[in-house]
Amino acid sequence: MDDHQLASLAPLLERQEGVCLSLYQATHRSHPDNTQDPIRFKNLVKTLANALDSSQQEMLKPFHDLADDFNFWQHTLDGLAIFANADRFTVIPLQRATPDFAVVSDSFHVKPLLRQMQTLDRFQVLCVTRDDARLFEGNRDSLDHIVTSEAFPSSAEHTSGKGRFTATLNLSSYRLGAATGGNAAMFHGHGGRSEAVETQTLNYFKEVDKAVIDEISKPSGLPLILVTLAEYQGEFRKLSKNSQLLDAGISIDPAALKIEDLHKRCWEIIQPIANQRSAEVIGNFQQNLGTGLASDNPNEILPAILDGRVASLLVSADQRIPGHIHRDEKSITVLEDFSAPNAEDILDDMAEMTLRRSGEVLVLPEDIMPTDTGIAAIYRY
């Protein structure tokens, strides 16, 4: 996770006053699958209500309001995360489904969100022609439109050459639009002209490049794939100052691709990059295990985290370990289940503590985790 993403998570990682409510739910993009989402949401809210005393029930008002917001439930992605306390109510759309659960604790439960925000398989796409530009974000599972502000130079007709272009941002740096489904999902643009790129086209490309850097690539730090006609690939790259722009691009008129085809072709570019990154981190851990510079034992890892020695922490996305962390004693008590009073997910707490001490946290699928303890650490020293 890069500095930009950590900064966006920072408010959730800070020590909180009072109780913290965390809710995760899988959602659906289209009818009729999404008809049951509000019902399941209300059941999760009941779980929160049962864990709060009578004086705290007022915290649930924004949850109830959201449950009755018909428009919201018609435009969801594959999941959502909600974090609330007496001072905040943050709703984050997720591009991956998530197990449904709701918990009341003294801190926010962020491990599922960490997995969503990892850069290992996330990427962005710039579809540009001489007349318009569209942005998307994807991962191995999906691709969604990034909704930009009216000031963004999405059309050459509306560029002014002035001011800043501000995308509509949320915790993950921008707002993802609801996907358009089915074979009707097409990109609209113009292209295929064989004449030389005019000066006005180059000026438009410069505006697009600056806007993408300032409002999309810098906040997210994600790799960017350029999709445009072959004749524009070289021209755009010559003028681009975007350090996130990948050498590999897709040379085609964006209007010729359905969204599922665009996602497939982009993932063919990103998958080797994501696989290499995962392999490097896992290989580094395995190489250092047994040397004193790595561990898979939570009881050994906790003191190292608290001392600021953990450079990288690998955590299973599919495991939750109930228990308590005793920071003063630098020790862990593991419980049988989460029914015990104030039971916390130890892995989640250790991930949060690592981030607070400027360590890297990678939440990996169970099938590639290099340990069976749900955790692995690589030490700085």
Per-residue pLDDT reduced to its tens digit, 205-255: 999 999 999 989 998 889 999 999 999 999 999 999 999 999 999 999 999
Percentage of residues of the chain with pLDDT beyond 70? 86
> What pLDDT is recorded for position 177?
54
User: For residues 242 and 6, which has the higher predicted lDDT (pLDDT)?
Assistant: 242
**What is the distance between the alpha carbons of residues 200 and 130, in angstroms, rounded to a whole number?**
9
**What is the distance between the alpha carbons of residues 273 and 266, in angstroms, rounded to a whole number?**
12
**What is the distance between the alpha carbons of residues 39 and 25, in angstroms, rounded to a whole number?**
11
For the cut 80, the answer to whether the pLDDT of residue 300 exceeds it is: yes
Percentage of residues of the chain with pLDDT beyond 90? 59
> What pLDDT is recorded for position 358?
86
Reported confidence tier of residue 116, pLDDT bands at 50, 70, 90: confident
> What pLDDT is recorded for position 6?
55
Residue 129 phi/psi, 5° resolution?
-125, -175
- Spell out the residues 6+ positions from residue 77 whose beta carbon is closer than 8 angstroms to its own: 27, 29, 93, 94, 95, 142, 144, 176, 178, 179
What is the per-residue pLDDT across 150-205, written as a single tens digit (0 to 9) for each? 788 988 876 654 433 434 333 343 445 544 444 334 444 444 444 444 788 999 99
Domains and CATH numbers, the chain: 1-118 (3.30.960.10), 123-275 (3.30.420), 289-381 (3.30.1330.30)
Is the CB of residue 94 less than 8 Å from the CB of residue 116? yes
Is the CB of residue 342 less than 8 Å from the CB of residue 324? yes
What is the per-residue pLDDT across 131-143, written as a single tens digit (0 to 9) for each? 999 999 998 888 9
> What pLDDT is recorded for position 173?
38
Tokens of 126: 């710039």
If we measure between CA atoms, which residue out of 139, 115, 118, 112 comes closest to residue 2? 118
What is the per-residue pLDDT across 63-113, written as a single tens digit (0 to 9) for each? 999 999 999 999 898 999 999 999 999 999 888 888 899 999 888 988 778
If we measure between CA atoms, which residue out of 363, 346, 344, 282 comes closest to residue 119? 363
> What pLDDT is recorded for position 168?
36
> What pLDDT is recorded for position 287?
97
